């Protein structure tokens, strides 16, 4: 087991090093950096959705909370001129607070009902943005959200440059993944998995299930809010369609294809599928069909996702060795 | 509010509500018997409408036969998909059925866009004319559609209450293990229920396709409505789906006419949310795991 953890740590280090060197490797190619930034956003969304999954739920309101973060940050920028550095935290706070308020009635529902109710929440959030033209700009959205500038003594970075924003997205995404990693590895994380395994049993050994559900959901949504703020300041333009159910669906695809059991899964899935998505972009609708086929094949033939491939291969090799002995 | 407007909105509400109920009953049947999330339910609604389109508008064959053909085709497609994709997932976490049906949505709706094209199409109506009711114009077409929807819902109710297969379905939805001990072939019930549920969505698609227009992306909206209704009424409950359908139909009709379609969505979802907050299993639902 320790051997596996060591290998995993090694792979993680190589991946992080590669991510930091990517701008140099691709010789500051703007398109590749854009893909890198998209991957960072997708990883942040998928991992924070996965945090909810550790309690045994799937929330389709996730893109909606990303939207709340994005709109908070965008409105604070266009209305008050505050920069991303402040807005990011406020976006997290607003998204987290909204999630907290909503989750208290929401968490009374279970299984399919929870999934559907969260879906309803996501749709309502989108429709509210679409309906209130005066505040949220309706279906047209909000324009002209500028990336921030960092002015420190001896340091002056303008994040409207692609490379600078790439590092910003990378660091923020890394921090989000690290926070989730720490939560999942802690005692609290074990409590989450126990709720995942059996809610009733968890309740009977004295775990306050509702409290943990509410806190986990709010945390995950706050992290999605930060992602939304970063998204808004990167694209400089947001509209309700961006925070559609589609966004949540794709995050779920990333999690399922990557793997459901550890944090490696969503990271792997989001990275790989975003790259595939970009490669298949010229094929138009066939791209979506491809994703559908991949999801179905994964569920039917590779339950547990891509992260289980090494273990499966090892088992296969072991079997083969035994036979040849 | 004038009387004619009120009548108009009420009639539209009943019309929409019955149609929604038709889609939602299919979904609730599938859920009640298999306990899976059939997220791609609306895609069968879309496919049903296209089968009728090719039958009636392209091949110029008789309309009413077309509806039966469409229902039969979608029955076979649904039953085949159940045997192929959903049977292996039986008894697993609902996430897996959600994922598979999400994959189906991707495949069917994009495949639909590729094969049927993005152009909006219409199915020619066979019933023309109308009648004035309290100053509101009520077309015979809408009347026929309401009657057909209501008839199908009643027919299904009779099927579930009186026939052997129907009773077996109710037994499976109450307790799969005990019913298989009683000699019910649950696997057979599964594919029949899936086929029937999908066929009901297809008929709704045919009726709606005549009334409005058809596009390959219309399936998802039907899924949204069907899920709203099923959650409102309680998963697995047929009367719940009927009442939920009428509630959502009336909200859609009144709010869309008086305010806007976005607000209709917001109010619809808010209603569901409030109901779930007070009764987490919907109006008539049981507590499922």
ipTM rounded to 2 decimals: 0.85
| CA B32 – CA A312 distance, rounded (Å) | 35
Q: Residue A92, Cα to own-chain centre: how many angstroms?
A: 14
The values of phi and psi at residue B133, to 5°, are: -120, 115
Q: List, for residues A143-154, the tens digit of each pLDDT value.
A: 888 888 887 777
What are the tokens at A149? 């500038």
Shortest alpha-carbon distance between residue A65 and chain B (Å): 16
Which residues in chain A have Cβ-Cβ distances shorter than 8 Å to B228? 120
Those of residues 224-283 in B touching chain A at CB distance below 8 A are: 224, 227-228, 230-231, 235, 260, 262-263, 265-266, 269-270, 272-273, 276-277, 280-282
Which residues in chain B have Cβ-Cβ distances shorter than 8 Å to A108? 276-277, 280
- CB count, 10 Å around CB of A141? 20
pLDDT of residue A92: 94
Pairing mode of beta strands B136-139, B130-133: antiparallel
Nearest CA in chain B to A260: B95
B98 interfaces chain A, CB cutoff of 8 Å: yes
Mean pLDDT, chain A, rounded, equals 88
Contact A110 B287 (CB under 8 A): yes
Residue B288 has pLDDT above 70, yes or no: no
A113 interfaces chain B, CB cutoff of 8 Å: yes
Nearest CA in chain A to B96: A299
> Where does the pLDDT of residue A226 fall: very low under 50, low under 70, confident under 90, or very high at 90 and above?
very high
Q: What is the average per-residue pLDDT within B227-255?
A: 87
A52 interfaces chain B, CB cutoff of 8 Å: no
Domain CATH for A94: 1.10.3470
Q: List, for residues A25-63, the tens digit of each pLDDT value.
A: 888 888 889 999 999 999 999 999 999 999 988 888 999
A134 interfaces chain B, CB cutoff of 8 Å: no
pLDDT of residue A275: 92
In the block, tokens 């009120």 appear at B6
Contact B100 A300 (CB under 8 A): yes
pLDDT of residue B94: 82
Q: What angle do CA A314, A319, A320 make, to 5 degrees?
A: 95
| CA B67 – CA B71 distance, rounded (Å) | 6
Q: Encode B51-75: b = buried (16+ Cβ within 10 Å), e = exposed.
A: bbbbbbbeeeeebeebbebbbebbb
Q: Encode A92-122: b = buried (16+ Cβ within 10 Å), e = exposed.
A: bebbbebbbebbeebbbbbbbbbbbbbbbbb
A249 interfaces chain B, CB cutoff of 8 Å: yes
Establish, for the pair of chains A and B, how many residue pairs have beta carbons separated by less than 8 Å: 130
pLDDT of residue A149: 80
| CA A22 – CA A19 distance, rounded (Å) | 5
What are the tokens at A41? 């956003």
| Domain that includes residue A140, residue range | 2-324
The percent of residues above 90 in pLDDT, for chain A, comes to 39
Sequence spans of domains, chain B: 23-219
Which residues in chain A have Cβ-Cβ distances shorter than 8 Å to B255? none
Contact B260 A112 (CB under 8 A): no
A130 interfaces chain B, CB cutoff of 8 Å: yes
| CA B21 – CA B200 distance, rounded (Å) | 10
pLDDT of residue A224: 94
What's the first-to-final CA gap in chain A, in angstroms?
Answer: 25
pLDDT of residue A2: 64
pLDDT of residue A123: 84
Concatenating the DSSP letter of every residue in chain B gives --HHHHHHHHHHHHHHHHHHHHHHHHHHHHHHHH----TTHHHHHHHHHHHHIIIIIIS---HHHHHHHHHHHHHHHHHHHIIIIIGGGTTS-HHHHHHHHHHHHHHHHHHHHHHH-SS-B-PPPS---EEEETTEEEEHHHHHHHHHHHHHHHHHHHHHHHSHHHHHHHHHHH-HHHHHHTT--HHHHHHHHHHHHHHHHHHHHHHHHHHS-B-TTHHHHHHHHHHHHHHHH-TT-HHHHHHHHHHHHHHHHHHHHHS-HHHHHHHHHHHHHHHHHHSTTTTT-----
- Closest residue to B280, CB basis, from A113, A291, A295: A113
Cα A15 to Cα A249, A267, A297, B58, B254, distances in angstroms: 26, 11, 27, 55, 55
- Closest residue to A111, CB basis, from B85, B94, B266: B94
Contact B269 A295 (CB under 8 A): no
**Domain total of chain A:** 1
Q: What is the average per-residue pLDDT within B59-66?
A: 86
| Higher pLDDT pick, A149 / A318 | A318
| CA B179 – CA B184 distance, rounded (Å) | 6
B88 interfaces chain A, CB cutoff of 8 Å: yes
Residue A1 has pLDDT above 60, yes or no: no
Residue A233 has pLDDT above 70, yes or no: yes
| Higher pLDDT pick, A320 / B126 | A320
Those of residues 154-213 in B touching chain A at CB distance below 8 A are: none
């Amino acid at each position: 087991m320790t051997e596996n953890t060591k290998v995993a740590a090694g792979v993680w280090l190589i991946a992080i090093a590669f991510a930091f060197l990517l701008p140099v490797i691709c010789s500051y190619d703007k398109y590749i950096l854009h893909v890198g930034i998209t991957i960072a956003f997708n990883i942040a969304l998928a991992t924070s959705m996965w945090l909810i999954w550790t309690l045994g739920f799937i929330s389709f309101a996730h893109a909606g909370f990303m939207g709340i973060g994005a709109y908070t940050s965008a409105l604070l920028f266009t209305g008050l001129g505050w920069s991303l550095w402040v807005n990011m935290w406020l976006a997290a706070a607003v998204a987290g607070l909204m999630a907290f308020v909503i989750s208290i009635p929401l968490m009374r529902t279970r299984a399919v009902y929870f999934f559907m109710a969260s879906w309803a929440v996501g749709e309502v959030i989108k429709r509210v943005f679409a309906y209130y033209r005066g505040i949220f700009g309706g279906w047209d959205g909000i324009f002209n959200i500028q990336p921030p500038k960092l002015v420190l003594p001896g340091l002056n970075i303008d994040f409207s440059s692609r490379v600078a924003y790439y590092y910003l997205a990378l660091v923020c995404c890394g921090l989000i993944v690290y926070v989730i990693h720490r939560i999942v590895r802690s005692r609290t994380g074990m409590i989450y998995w126990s709720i995942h395994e059996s809610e009733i049993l968890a309740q009977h050994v004295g775990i306050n299930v509702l409290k943990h559900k509410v806190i986990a959901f709010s945390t995950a949504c706050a992290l999605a809010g930060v992602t939304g703020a970063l998204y808004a300041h990167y694209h400089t333009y947001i509209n309700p369609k961006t925070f559609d159910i589609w966004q949540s669906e794709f995050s779920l695809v990333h999690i399922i294809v990557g793997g459901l059991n550890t944090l490696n899964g969503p990271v792997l899935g989001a990275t790989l599928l975003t790259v595939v998505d970009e490669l298949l972009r010229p094929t138009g609708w066939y791209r979506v069909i491809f994703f559908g086929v991949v999801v179905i094949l994964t569920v039917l033939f590779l339950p547990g996702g891509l992260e289980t491939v090494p273990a499966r291969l090892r088992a296969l090799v072991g079997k083969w060795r035994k036979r040849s002995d | 509010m004038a009387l004619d407007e009120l009548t108009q909105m009420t009639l539209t509400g009943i019309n929409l509500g019955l149609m929604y109920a038709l889609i939602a009953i299919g979904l609730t049947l599938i859920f009640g018997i298999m306990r899976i999330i059939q997220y791609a339910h609306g895609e069968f609604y879309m496919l049903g409408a296209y089968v009728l389109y090719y039958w009636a508008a392209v091949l110029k064959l008789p309309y009413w036969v077309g509806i039966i053909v469409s229902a039969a085709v979608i029955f076979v497609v649904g039953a085949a998909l159940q045997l192929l994709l959903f049977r292996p997932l039986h008894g697993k976490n609902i996430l897996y059925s959600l994922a598979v049906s999400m994959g189906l949505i991707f495949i069917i709706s994009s495949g639909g866009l590729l094969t049927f094209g993005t152009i909006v199409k219409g199915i020619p109506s066979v019933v023309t004319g109308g009648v004035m009711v309290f100053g509101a114009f009520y077309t015979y077409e809408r009347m026929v559609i309401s009657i057909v929807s209501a008839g199908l819902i009643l027919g299904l109710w009779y099927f579930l209450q009186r026939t052997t297969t129907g009773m077996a379905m109710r037994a499976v939805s109450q307790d799969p293990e005990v019913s298989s001990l009683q000699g019910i072939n649950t696997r057979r019930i599964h594919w029949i229920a899936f086929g029937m549920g999908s066929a009901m969505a297809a008929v709704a698609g045919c009726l709606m396709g005549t009334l409005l227009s058809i596009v390959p992306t219309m399936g998802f909206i039907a899924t949204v409505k069907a899920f709203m209704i099923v959650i409102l009424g309680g998963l697995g409950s047929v009367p719940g789906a009927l009442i939920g359908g009428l509630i959502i139909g009336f909200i859609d009709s009144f709010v869309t006419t008086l305010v806007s379609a976005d607000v209709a969505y917001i109010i619809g979802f808010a209603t569901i949310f409030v109901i779930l907050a007070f009764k987490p299993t919907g109006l008539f639902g049981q507590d499922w795991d």
